[in-house]
Every structure is written in C-alpha cells, then in structure tokens.
Amino acid sequence: MTAILPARLGQRLEEVDTPALVLDLDAFEGNLRRLNEALAGRKVRVRAHAKTHKCPEIARRQVAAGAVGVCCQKVSEAEAMVEGGIGDVLVSNEVVGAGKLARLARLARRARVGICVDHALQVNALGAAALAEGVQLDVYVEIDVGARRCGVAPGAPALELAQHIAGTAGLRFAGLQAYQGSAQHVRTMQERRERIAIAIEAARSTRALIAAAGIACPVVTGAGSGSFMFEADSGVYDELQPGSYIFMDADYAKNEWAPPLPRFEHALFVLATVMSTPVPGRAVVDAGLKASSVDSGLPTVWERPGLTYARASDEHGVIDVQAGAAGPALGDKLLLVPGHCDPTVNLYDWYVCMRGGVVEALWPITARGAVA
Amino acid sequence: MTAILPARLGQRLEEVDTPALVLDLDAFEGNLRRLNEALAGRKVRVRAHAKTHKCPEIARRQVAAGAVGVCCQKVSEAEAMVEGGIGDVLVSNEVVGAGKLARLARLARRARVGICVDHALQVNALGAAALAEGVQLDVYVEIDVGARRCGVAPGAPALELAQHIAGTAGLRFAGLQAYQGSAQHVRTMQERRERIAIAIEAARSTRALIAAAGIACPVVTGAGSGSFMFEADSGVYDELQPGSYIFMDADYAKNEWAPPLPRFEHALFVLATVMSTPVPGRAVVDAGLKASSVDSGLPTVWERPGLTYARASDEHGVIDVQAGAAGPALGDKLLLVPGHCDPTVNLYDWYVCMRGGVVEALWPITARGAVA
C-alpha cells in the first residue's frame, strides 16, 4: 500500500508509472496565493477543508499561507491532521458513537478541536466524552442554510441548542456552522449569489437571536470554493471553509467564474497511459473509475484538443478521438482532470508532486480511507 | 491505514464502528456454492475475477471451491494475488509500459501468468520482457465481442495477432479473451442472451479460423456474473470469469434473474450510522460516496422498509423516510447494499467478516488501490 512509492524524485513526468495522482506544485501554490489575494483586506479567516486533500503536507502549507487551521469531516481525518502537526481542527460535521467521541475528546488534549451538532442527544454525548477526558470541546450548532442535509432550522431551534451547549459542562458554545454545500456547483454566479444570500441572512438572524438571549456567538463558519467571496463580503461570516480551490476539478471548472471570485487553476491530475488503440477514433486509457471518481462527471483530457474521455469502467477509460484530431498512440501518456477531486484523492496513497515536468516530492495521503 | 483494525473478533455487528465494509460469510459461502451448483456437470472451468474483491483470502476460497485461478485487471493486482498464494493468474487486460511488463515477467517465475493483447506492439514488448526474464508468458488475444472497449475485431485481425504471438520467442498463444462486459447489466434475460449469442458466435468463428490456420487455440475465456450460464452452455467457452457473484450489489440486483442463472444473495454491505435526524422524513448516515461508490447507482437500505438512500455527498448519505414508515433514531445502524461492489471494495482496507451477527474474521484488502 503506502509502502510502494509511485515515482522517484527527479523522474520526468512521462516516466512515471500510471495511473498516478499528480499535483502540479506551481498551480497549487498559485491557488494558495489566489485565495489570499482575493481575500486581502477582509477580516475573515480561512479554515481550509482537509477532506479535499487528506494530506498534512498540504494542510501545513495552507496554514503557512495564513489559514487558522483546517476542517475535517471525520474523527479519523482529524486524527491524521493533528498527527501531522495541525493544531486547530474543526470537525465540520455531526459525529455519533461513544467510541468516536472518546477519540475526539482525546484529540483535544493535543489540539484545539471543534465539532458540530444538530441534536440535543449529541450535545449530551459530547459533554460526557469531554468530562471523561477532562477536556473542553468547541461546539458549533449546524444550521441548515438551504442544503437540506444536516443542521437544525435557523432561528429558535438553533438558539435552543446553543443554550443547551452553554449549559453543558466540558463544552463551549463556539458559534454556527452555516455551510451551503448544494450551492457550490450551481453554475451561474447570479444563482449562487442568490442561494448564498439566503444562507447569509439565516446565519445573521440566528446569530442575532442567540446574542439577544445573552449567549456569545464567537464564530460563524462555512462557505466553499464556489461561493466564499459572497460569505467573505457578508459581514456575517468569520471563517471560510474552502477545500477544492487548491485543486480545481472538472466539475468546478463548469461553474461560471467571475469577480469577486478568483479563477483557480487546475493543479490535480490523473496521469494515464493509452493501453489500447483498437479502432480509429477510439483509444483506451488505464485509468477508469477506480482511478478517477465519476460521481460528478467524467474526467476531461488536459491540453489534447479533440480527445474526450467518453466512458469509464472499473479499470478502463474510453477516449473518443474527434474526426481530424491527432489520435494518441499506444503508450502515450495523458493528463486527466478529475471530475471530482475529493473522492479521486481518496483512491490514492500518494501525490506525485511535479514542477516543470519533473517529480519534486511525494506526499503521503495519510487520511486516505479515513471515513470513520 | 491497514494497521488500524476496523473491528474486534467476537464483536456484535451493532458494536462495529462505521462506516465499515461488512461481508456476510454465510451469504458469501452460499454464493460460492450456488455458482458450483449452477455449473455442475458442465466442462467449463471457473477463473474468478479478483478485481471484484482484491483479497487473497477470498481468492483462496474461490480456488478451494474449484476455481483454476483468478483474473486480475492490473499487474499490481496480480502481484498481490501471487503474494497471497494464488498460483495461476490471468491479467484479463492489456498492459503497456516496460516497467509493468518487467514486473509481469518476474511474476511468471512464481506463478502461471497470462496476459491479453490487442496490438502487435504489445506482443513485441511482452516478448522482450519474457526473454529478459527467461520466462514464458501465456498470451491471449482479446477480441471485441460487442463491448466496444479494447480488443481486435473477431476473425482475421485476431488470427494475425495469434500468428504473431506464436512466432514470438518467450510467448505462448493461449487463446481468446472474449468478455462481453457491456451485456452484464442489460436488464432482461432475453436481451442479455441475445448479446451473449453474438459474443459466442464471434468467439466460435474466430477460434475456428485460427485452428484452420494450424494454430492451437487452447482456451476461450470470458463471461461475467450476469451472463455466465449462456457462455457455459455454448460449447465454445472453456473458462468463465465471474467476479460480482460472490457479493451481489444493488445494480446486479436490478437485473432479471431466471434459470439457467442462479440467484445470488447480497453478501456485501456497508454498515452506517444515523448521525443526524434533522427533520421528520429525513435521516442522514455517515456513509457517503467515499464509503459506497455511486457510479452505478445509489446504495439501497437493507431490510428497513420505507427507507430510501436518496442522495450521496462525500461523507453524507441522505435517507428519505416514507410517510408512515418507522424512521431510524439517531445512532441507529443501517446496512447498505452498495450500488457497485468493485469500486466500493476499493475504498476499504478491510472486510469485517460477520456470521450470525458476530465478527468472525477480518480480511485485508491487500490489492486496494492497486491500479498500476
């Protein structure tokens, strides 16, 4: 597994065995800069989402670039981040189960740890875990700001839960988790702006209600790569949780990108080899759906005009060659832009980090498969 | 990664941390039996497809049940199988790249190793690798029997390639790979039978052409879980390559199953926990698309009438609760039947093997992520 290295330092990209998950370091570092430039002069903090990359090497670079810490979705992911040197982790998700909560509380001995709730029973269980471990946990109330997934309704239900947290030993009410996930891939700027305006208003009014009840609401946190400038400019959000901005996948590339959002560059690729050229107009690569997740659409072929990734099966990708286009030869290597970066990363144990066409580093994806 | 065990032996299923990949041993063993019973009295051999399970523990049980060996799709998968004690492995796929071919040839020192080709350049490269290692490789010509993926056309192009193999030192022409993958999930028995009839005729006529040219064609191999009885009854196929029959996923369950095909039982599940019950009619589990692959459809909820897995995001599964149905409580555990077993298995490092609701064994998925 991770013990088998996917490439050698100094190797040229075309020598790397395939399929391989390739990170273009110039584009990645450029994306870190683009985020900072877009947010320059604003008071919001970045809490980058580590579910995207699952890699402490990347998290440390995000913190070095100014992020206050990271978000995770799972306790096991948070453990990998703390183990990798990150001192401030928010599990931006509900967690149920005594074993997981005990681990979360243990983690709070080594790092600042936050967690979300949307039910009183979760609060009770968290309090018990914090007391048993002798730690204090930051607890955020998740409100449903339009994604219809987890979260209590904005307003009174959130206040009730905040009061419950404030009255529970071992817990500190830390604020609101207000992430509108379903808006991130709405294609037009205008529609995304409208969806986020609803989220902002829900967060604003809920925070005001909680403050009016005499409970401090230190942080409103949320936002993703497709919308974060709207939240940043709202005056309501204190922390932003973009994840995919570092990689930019094919699905995000289908969004309209216009100011105030910066245009990020593709930094994540799957390197594939043409293993079959059975008939004119068709080539087959060795990267199928076990090499590039297809849940949000097929990968696209990078900088090879006329080539379209048309079908994926487990271990095959069928490439259509447009009439008149130069078809790839057997053995050619193609870079694919994954349809969805997060689950694609979760298929690999290593990033092959490349600069100027040469392998510069190998970064382990230590939280790969950390779903528990 | 694999060092972290997902469960303890003797644990009850409801105590297992989630998400977990659960194998029901009674159902699994029953599926091994069902395959054998269906094939009783026929001369075809089973060469089970290990891309489905990626686990030598399972491969050894398939061999113990009568399989002559396994198929793999990748060299790294084949290495894991040989390392795990399997002595006869067919890479039922084209492989391109000198490094991979050198590894394949090395593997042939320890096991019987077969490989497929659909281009003369692949034959030349295989010959060079076999000579360099001083081994002989079994080489199969893949013919396209209707799936429009890899493979030369049946007939003359296959003969030409067979002659090329027969004339290449280090290689033995072993027969035809004739797998109709795209027919496996055609829903009606009748349509599947028609598609496979075309594949059978293509394989029959191509074998006859090769034999007429004076070249022995020892093996015709192919077939999958959705069709194998048609190939078994054809008199043309010598080996069958079913993979999913051991698990039966939700997509295969949508097929019409009728004699001569046996009806396999669901043996593979994702155990999930209800982590949020935000509003009546909706529950959210901790198993999203990083826990159960959605490329062939969403998972289904096992034996909980009125519950439907309606939407997946990275780490969340939204469960719709039908009006009047008993909604799950926070913390309830649900078994999900994955939409597609192969890529779901590829997300996990371990099978939690269960019998009678108790964890009986943990089997490592040693070829997880083995895409190269």
Same domain, A178 and A273: no
Rounded Cα–Cα distance for residues B93 and B100 (Å):
13
pLDDT for B84-134, tens place per residue? 999 999 999 999 999 999 999 999 999 999 999 999 999 999 999 999 999
CATH number at residue B148: 3.20.20.10
Write out pLDDT tens, residues B256-299: 999 999 999 999 999 999 999 999 999 999 999 999 999 999 99
**Cα four-point dihedral sign A164, A166, A167, A170:** positive
Question: Measured between alpha carbons, how far is residue A360 from residues A4, A341, B6, B163, B237 in Å?
Answer: 17, 21, 34, 45, 49
Same domain, B84 and B153: yes
Distance CA A83, CA A366 (A): 10
Chain-chain contact of B330 with A51 (C-beta, under 8 angstroms): no
Return d(Cα A12, Cα A83) in angstroms, integer.
Answer: 32
A84 plus A224 within the same structural domain: yes
Hey, what are A229's tokens? 């400038």
Contact A1 B6 (CB under 8 A): no
Overall number of domains in chain B? 2
pLDDT of residue B1 exceeding 50? no
Residue at a domain's end among A195, A213, A247 = A247
Do residues B115 and B174 lie in contact, with contact meaning Cβ atoms separated by under 8 Å? no
Question: What is the residue-wise DSSP string for B62-121?
Answer: HHHTT--EEEESSHHHHHHHHHTT--EEEE-S----HHHHHHHHHHTTTSEEEEEESSHH
Does some domain include residue A1?
A: no
Q: Is the pLDDT of residue A271 over 60?
A: yes
- Nearest alpha-carbon partner for B216 in B158, B171, B178, B174: B174
Residue A258 placed within a domain: no
Calpha distance B141→A276 (Å, rounded): 13
Report the distance separating Cα A26 and Cα A28, nearest Å.
5
Q: What percent of chain B has pLDDT over 90?
A: 99
**CB A277 to CB B119 under 8 A?**
yes
The number of CA neighbours under 13 Å toward the Cβ of B258 is 8
- What would the pLDDT profile of A352-370 be if each residue is shown by its tens digit? 999 999 999 999 999 999 9
Asked if residue A101 is part of any domain, the answer here is yes
Burial of B128 (0-12, 13-18, 19+ CB in 10 A): middle
In this structure, is residue B254 part of a structural domain? Answer: no
- B-chain CB neighbours of A99 within 8 Å are 17
Q: Sign of dihedral through CA atoms B89, B91, B97, B100?
A: negative
Structural domain boundaries, residue A297: 13-21+264-364
Report the residue of chain B nearest A73, measured CA to CA: B315
Contact B8, B359 (CB under 8 A): yes
The two tokens of residue B54 are: 């990626």
Average pLDDT value for residue range A32-46: 97
Element (H, E) at B216: none
Q: Find tokens 């009006």 and name the residue.
A: B323
Structure tokens at A275: 């293993």
Q: What is the pLDDT of residues B217-253, one digit of tens each?
A: 999 999 999 999 999 999 999 999 999 999 999 999 9
Q: For residues B335 and B240, state if they share a domain.
A: no
Q: How far apart are CA A151 and CA A114, in angstroms?
A: 16
pLDDT band at A27 (very low <50, low <70, confident <90, very high): very high
Of B247, B273, B288, the position where a domain reaches its end is B247
Q: What is the pLDDT of residue B326?
A: 87
Q: Round to whole Å and give the CA distance between A77 and A84.
A: 11
Domain identity same for A124 and A268? no
- Residues of B within 8 A of A286 (CB-CB) are 74, 96, 371
Nearest to B286 by CA among A265, A27, A100, A156: A100
What CATH number does residue B342 fall under?
A: 2.40.37.20
End-of-domain residue from the set B247, B277, B307: B247
The shortest C-alpha distance from A278 to chain B (Å) reads 6
Say whether B284 and A99 touch across the interface (CB within 8 A): no
Among B276, B334, B347, the strongest candidate for a mutation testing the A interface, having the largest count of A CBs within 10 A, is: B276
Give me the interface pTM, i.e. the ipTM. 0.96
| H helix or E strand, kind and range, residue A262 | none
Q: Do B118 and A278 touch (CB under 8 A)?
A: yes
Judge if B283 and B168 occupy the same domain: no
Within a domain: residue B5? no
Together in a domain, B74 and B92: yes
CB A158 within 8 A of CB A133: no
Kindly state whether residue B168 falls inside one of the protein's structural domains. Answer: yes
- Put simply, the answer to whether B278 touches A150 (Cβ < 8 Å) is yes
Alpha carbons B1 and A369: distance in angstroms, whole number = 7
With bands split at pLDDT 50, 70 and 90, how would you rate the model's confidence at A3? low
